[in-house]
Every structure is written in structure tokens, then in C-alpha cells.
């Protein structure tokens, strides 16, 4: 018997014991993750595997379509996770991670699949900017696979733009303490692509090269420096 839920019964003996010292440290000193990753809830995208994270390394928020609703007065789980990660945990990096073959993005091609999922349909409205960009700026004759991929890439950019509307994000970037990253995970090849904010394009993450950054806190903080100095 190897039911996924049954494995929980073996966690303490098989896994925890090997990491016992780390868990003791984390239990007594608290967590101090360096990054927040906002990824799709898709079971094939595993943030801790992609980043080879250990317990305590990564603050994770997952949902259908790796979406960040723009800031509003309405409370929300993603908004709260973002705020907590920045204000309480003081993470220095936020990664929005999309992926290939995303079911949420596929729904834009066949909206009728959402007829029985009113919550998902409402949630995916936060990705409409990506759909508009693909309709306006990509070729009409793309096949479905390419269109879903384009939607997923543009959706990462759209959600990074939404992140910047959150006061905690804007403030941390103005202080030069936060960088934003846009990633795309290819399920069939294991390739991770990162948005290069300087060129506006996604490039393969390569072992030997510096990680491209979507929006660096260094760049974002520059316009605020003279005003901050004048106060």
C-alpha cells in the first residue's frame, strides 16, 4: 500500500529523524525564509524541488494560475501572504512562477469548462490582462499549445505588475530591500526560465550565469533616493 496519505504516517520515522537537528533549530528560533514563491497549485510544479529548498528556506503561496490579485481593501489569502512575507519575515525576493500546460491558462481557450466552477472563473479574471496582451500582440494563427504557453508567460508578467500595487511591496522596493522575479517552469524538460526585466523576455536559467531579475530593488529604488534624501 502506497497511498499518498498513508505516507504521512511514515514521515516522522523516515524523514523527520534525518532532519531532526534542522527542525529543532527552526522550532526554537522560528522561520527565516529568504524568499516568497507564488506558484500554481498544479501538482507537477513543486517550488521546494525547483529551488532545492529545505524546511525553513521558502515561504510558499500556491493557487490556481499563480495569481496575485491587485491590491484592494478586500481581504484575501494571497494579499495577506505577501504582506506577512515582507513585513514580518522580511523576505528579499518574491518569485511568481508559472508553468507549461497550465490548466488555468487553458480555461481561456475553452471558457465553457468553467461553467460549473464559478469560483475559478471569478478568480481567473485577475489574469485577463494576460489574455488581452496575447490577443493584441501575438499571432492569430498560434496553435493551442503555443497560445497556452504565451498566456502563461504573459500571466507571470501581469501578476508581477499586480504585486507592485501592494503597499508593502512598493515600500520594500523603494527601500531597496525587495526584488521581484518572474519564472516559468517547463514540465516536460525541467527547464526554468526567468524574466529579464532589462529586455522584457524570458531566458533559460543557466548554472553558470547570474539569475535574470524581473525588477531589481536597486533599479526601483533609484527614483526615490533624491526625495528620501531631501526629507
Rule CB under 5 A: which residues touch Zn ion?
A: 40, 42, 102, 104
Q: From the CB of 42, what's the least distance to Zn ion, in Å? A: 4
Between residues 104 and 178, which has the closer beta carbon with respect to Zn ion?
104
* 105, 134 contact by CB (below 8 A): no
Q: From the CB of 38, what's the least distance to Zn ion, in Å? A: 12
Between residues 71 and 162, which has the closer beta carbon with respect to Zn ion?
162
Q: From the CB of 129, what's the least distance to Zn ion, in Å? A: 17
C-alpha cell at 66: 499563480
Q: From the CB of 198, what's the least distance to Zn ion, in Å? A: 27
Q: From the CB of 76, what's the least distance to Zn ion, in Å? A: 19
Between residues 104 and 220, which has the closer beta carbon with respect to Zn ion?
104
Between residues 27 and 187, which has the closer beta carbon with respect to Zn ion?
187
Between residues 63 and 79, which has the closer beta carbon with respect to Zn ion?
63
Phi/psi of residue 229, each to 5°?
A: -70, -30
Q: From the CB of 36, what's the least distance to Zn ion, in Å? A: 18
Between residues 79 and 100, which has the closer beta carbon with respect to Zn ion?
100
Amino acid at each position: 500500500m502506497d497511498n499518498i496519505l498513508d505516507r504521512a504516517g511514515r514521515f516522522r520515522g523516515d524523514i523527520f529523524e534525518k532532519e531532526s537537528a534542522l527542525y529543532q533549530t527552526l522550532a526554537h528560533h522560528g522561520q527565516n525564509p529568504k524568499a516568497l514563491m507564488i506558484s500554481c497549485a498544479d501538482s507537477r510544479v513543486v517550488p521546494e524541488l525547483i529551488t532545492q529548498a529545505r524546511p525553513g528556506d521558502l515561504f510558499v503561496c500556491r493557487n490556481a494560475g499563480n495569481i496575485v490579485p491587485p491590491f484592494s481593501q478586500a481581504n484575501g489569502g494571497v494579499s495577506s501572504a505577501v504582506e506577512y512575507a515582507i513585513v514580518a519575515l522580511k523576505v528579499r525576493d518574491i518569485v511568481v512562477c508559472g508553468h507549461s500546460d497550465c490548466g488555468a491558462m487553458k480555461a481561456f481557450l475553452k471558457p465553457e469548462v468553467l461553467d460549473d466552477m464559478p469560483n475559478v472563473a471569478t478568480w481567473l479574471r485577475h489574469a485577463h490582462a494576460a489574455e488581452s496582451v496575447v490577443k493584441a500582440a501575438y499571432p492569430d494563427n498560434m496553435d493551442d499549445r503555443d497560445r497556452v504557453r504565451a498566456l502563461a508567460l504573459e500571466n507571470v508578467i501581469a501578476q508581477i505588475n499586480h504585486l507592485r500595487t501592494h503597499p508593502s511591496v512598493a515600500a520594500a522596493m523603494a527601500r531597496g530591500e525587495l526584488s521581484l522575479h518572474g519564472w516559468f517552469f517547463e514540465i516536460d524538460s525541467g527547464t526554468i526560465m526567468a524574466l529579464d526585466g532589462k529586455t522584457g523576455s524570458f531566458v533559460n536559467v543557466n548554472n553558470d550565469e547570474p539569475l535574470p531579475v524581473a525588477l531589481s530593488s536597486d533599479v526601483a529604488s533609484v527614483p526615490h533616493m533624491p526625495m528620501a534624501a531631501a526629507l
